[in-house]
Amino acid sequence: MVARPVLEELADQLRDTVHLAVRDGDSVLYLDKLPGSRGAEMRSRIGPRMPLTRTGVGMALLLDSAPEWRDLYLAETPAEPGRVHPEDVDAFLARIREYAESGVAMDLEDNEPGIRCVAAPIRDATGAIAGAISVSATRPYMPAARMRGLNRVVGRAARQVSAGLGHR
């Protein structure tokens, strides 16, 4: 596997949980997970699907899919009265636009309370997003400053995997 050595290097270097995922329809499918060494257990598992708009890897998988952002966000929001406010949708759209510009997405406890993540897309030889990688940790190990610093690290790792798939 092209990605595995890069994932292992990230996990060893950072001591945090590292994921590899792909898009499967309107969901994220986790293909690999290397648990961190800090003792935190996350609900992500290899095989089950997760929401695209609520996970770091999911948002990274969506960076080139602007026309889908609003509809996916609304579809993935629980159908409870008063649950979705227009400002929630606007805030999500502003965040993902920013992520698309930077090429790196962040999960700010969107999927799981106390868990934060930095994710970047993997591109194939055509330049299309073929997958995504992420680094996840509990809030104490993922303050905002560290997350900003990890943008470069995770982005570089995703580019390494992309190069292995023929992306230039």
Q: Give how far Cα 11 sits from Cα of 137, 147, 149, 166, 167, Å.
A: 11, 15, 16, 24, 23
Structural domains of the chain, with CATH: 4-164 (3.30.450.40)
Full-prediction pTM beyond 0.85?
Answer: yes
Whether the pLDDT of residue 14 is over 80: the answer is yes
Whether the pLDDT of residue 98 is over 60: the answer is yes
Whether the pLDDT of residue 108 is over 70: the answer is yes
Measured at the CA of 99, the angle between CA 95 and CA 103, to 5 degrees, comes to: 180
Model pLDDT, residue 123: 97
pLDDT in tens, 35-83: 877 666 666 667 778 889 999 999 999 999 999 999 999 888 766 555 6
pLDDT in tens, 113-133: 899 999 999 999 999 999 999
Q: Which residue has the higher pLDDT, 49 or 135?
A: 135
Is 88:69 a contact under the CB 8 Å cutoff?
no
60 vs 53: CA distance, rounded Å: 9
Model pLDDT, residue 78: 67
Model pLDDT, residue 80: 57
Tell the burial category of 101 from Cβ atoms under 10 Å away from its Cβ (0-12, 13-18, 19+): exposed
Q: How confident is the model at residue 89 (pLDDT cuts 50, 70, 90)?
A: confident
151 vs 36: CA distance, rounded Å: 18
Model pLDDT, residue 1: 72
